[in-house]
Structure 1
Amino acid sequence: MILYDHPLSSYCQKVKIALREKGVAFERILPEDFGTGRRDTGFANANPRGEVPVLLPDGRTPIFESTIILDFIEESWPEPALLPRDALRRAYARMTEEVCDSQYEAVNWGFGELLWFRRAEGAAAQRLKEQAARDTTALQDWLAGRLGDADWFGGHAFGWADAAVAPMVNRSVHYGLGPPPGSPLAEWHTRLQTRASVQETFEEFDQAAAKMQAAADFYRTGGRRREYRDHRLEWMIRSGGIDVVLAGLRDDTIRFSWPG
Structure 2
Amino acid sequence: MLLYEHPLSSYAQKVKIALREKGVAFTAELPESFGTGRQDGPFAAANPRTEVPVLIDGDVTVFDSTVILEYIEERCPEPPLLPRDPAARAFARITEDVCDTHYEAVNWGFGEILWFRRATGTLADHLRAEAAAQTRVLQDWLTGRLGRREWFGGEGFGWADAAVAPMVNRSVHYGMGPEPGSPLALWHARICARPSVAATFAEFDAAAAAMAAASEMYTTGGRRREYRDHRLEWMVKSGGVEVVLAGLRDGNIRFPWPGGV
- Length-normalised TM-score, structure 1: 0.99
**What's 1:139 paired with?**
138
Q: Aligned runs of 1:224-243 on 2, under 5 Å? A: 224-243=223-242
**What's 2:55 paired with?**
55
Counterpart of 1:111, as a letter, is F
The alpha-carbon deviation at position 6 of structure 1 amounts to: 0.3
Distance of 2:71 and 2:216 partners within structure 1: 37
Distance of 1:22 and 1:217 partners within structure 2: 37
Distance of 2:196 and 2:26 partners within structure 1: 13
SS in 2 for 1:62: strand
The alpha-carbon deviation at position 54 of structure 1 amounts to: 0.2
Distance of 1:35 and 1:150 partners within structure 2: 39
**2:12 paired with 1:9:** no
**What's 1:122 paired with?**
121
The alpha-carbon deviation at position 51 of structure 1 amounts to: 0.1
Superimposed CA distance per residue, residues 192-245 of structure 1 (whole angstroms, 9 cap, x where no aligned partner): 011000000000000000011101211101110110011100000010000000
Counterpart of 2:55, as a letter, is L
Question: Number of aligned pairs?
Answer: 259
The alpha-carbon deviation at position 11 of structure 1 amounts to: 0.3
SS in 2 for 1:56: strand
The alpha-carbon deviation at position 86 of structure 1 amounts to: 0.2
The alpha-carbon deviation at position 26 of structure 1 amounts to: 0.3
**What's 2:93 paired with?**
94
The alpha-carbon deviation at position 61 of structure 1 amounts to: 3.0
Counterpart of 1:220, as a letter, is T
Counterpart of 2:114, as a letter, is L
Distance of 1:252 and 1:226 partners within structure 2: 10
Counterpart of 1:159, as a letter, is G
The alpha-carbon deviation at position 37 of structure 1 amounts to: 1.8
Distance of 2:212 and 2:219 partners within structure 1: 11
The alpha-carbon deviation at position 62 of structure 1 amounts to: 1.5
Counterpart of 1:136, as a letter, is T
**What's 2:243 paired with?**
244
**2:17 paired with 1:32:** no
**What's 1:194 paired with?**
193
- Structure 1 outlier segments of 4+, above 3 Å: none
Runs (5+) with no aligned partner, structure 1: none
The alpha-carbon deviation at position 39 of structure 1 amounts to: 1.3
Distance of 2:51 and 2:208 partners within structure 1: 19
**2:84 paired with 1:85:** yes
**What's 1:179 paired with?**
178
Distance of 1:255 and 1:173 partners within structure 2: 28
**What's 1:208 paired with?**
207
Distance of 2:182 and 2:84 partners within structure 1: 29
Distance of 1:181 and 1:246 partners within structure 2: 39
Counterpart of 1:49, as a letter, is R
Runs (5+) with no aligned partner, structure 2: none
**2:47 paired with 1:43:** no
Distance of 1:120 and 1:216 partners within structure 2: 14
Distance of 1:237 and 1:204 partners within structure 2: 31
Superimposed CA distance per residue, residues 161-186 of structure 1 (whole angstroms, 9 cap, x where no aligned partner): 00000000000000000000000000
Q: Aligned runs of 1:96-111 on 2, under 5 Å? A: 96-111=95-110
The alpha-carbon deviation at position 155 of structure 1 amounts to: 1.1
* Identical-residue share of aligned pairs (%): 70
User: Cα RMSD over matched residues?
Assistant: 0.6
**What's 2:66 paired with?**
67
Q: Aligned runs of 1:156-175 on 2, under 5 Å? A: 156-175=155-174
The alpha-carbon deviation at position 53 of structure 1 amounts to: 0.2
**What's 1:18 paired with?**
18
SS in 2 for 1:3: strand
- Length-normalised TM-score, structure 2: 0.98
Distance of 1:35 and 1:9 partners within structure 2: 12
